[in-house]
Amino acid sequence: MDYTFSIKGVTDIVCGERCTSTPDCELFHYDSNTCYILNYPGIGSIHITTFYGSENWTGGCSVDGYPLYGGRFCMRMFKTRKNWYNANDTCNQDGGQLLIMKSEDFFLKKEVIDQYGGGHLYWIGGTDIETEGDWIWNDGSPIRSNQWEAGNPSNSHYAEHCLEFGPLMLNDNSCLTPAFFICEKLKY
Ligand SMILES: [Ca+2]
Ligand SMILES: [Ca+2]
């Protein structure tokens, strides 16, 4: 991956703040006391390869059953099929939430899924249920247009209002379709 520059000797919190304060910062990565800031001109330039060293894959989350990925993300990929509503309920009952992939960590979480759960479609936490075509993550933040599969959101048959993630990125699908799903818990 081509990061534009790195900062040595800062904390991960400072790294995140540095990204927030950097114009056009698309994401940051923190590893071995080094903060990497990515400021890129377009999706085509992103190529994530091997920045998950094995040392980053240790540790755990605050709750059992949620492996820690990338040193930051506590995600669990459920390989049973449920419709979006039941998947959402399952995550909530489990003390978590359907996965949210906001801009700053979209490609990092994508890399986790591709590496550990690739090849499947998963329900994640976003809908346009409230207003057709107004796609938001479950925390209310907007879903960016450059994260969709080509030709989507398609709202096929005027009935696709729930968000799934797959090998081709984001797609809208019917909320009643049974699918695998991914829950996450916030690390603390
Ligand atoms: Ca829709
Ligand atoms: Ca679709």
Beta carbons of 121 and 138 less than 8 angstroms apart: no
What pLDDT was estimated at residue 12? 75
More confident residue, 7 or 119: 119
Least confident of 59-68, 87-96, 112-121, 178-187: 59-68
Closest CA to 110 of 41, 182, 62, 53: 182
pLDDT of 129 reads: 95
Top mean pLDDT of 1-15, 16-30, 137-151, 168-182 is at 168-182
Yes or no: is domain 66-185 CATH 2.60.120.200?
A: no
Higher pLDDT, 52 or 4: 4
Of the listed ranges 3-12, 35-44, 64-73, the one predicted with least confidence = 35-44
Amino acid code (one letter) for 67: P
Q: CATH assignment of 1-51?
A: 3.30.30
pLDDT at 110 > cutoff 80: yes
User: Could you report the per-residue pLDDT of 12-61, keeping only the tens digit for each?
Assistant: 777 777 777 766 666 777 776 667 666 544 433 333 322 333 233 334 56
Distance 149 CA to ligand 2 centre (A): 9
More confident of the two residues 112 and 176:
176
Measured in Å, residue 100 CA sits from the centre of ligand 1 at: 18
Q: Give residue 130 CA to ligand 1 midpoint distance, Å.
A: 9
**Rounded-to-integer distance, Cα 70 and Cα 29, Å:** 9
Structural domain boundaries in the chain = 1-51, 66-185
Q: Which ligand is located closest to the Cα atom of residue 128?
A: 1
**Closest-approaching ligand to the CA atom of 152:** 2
| Average confidence (pLDDT) over 95-118 | 85
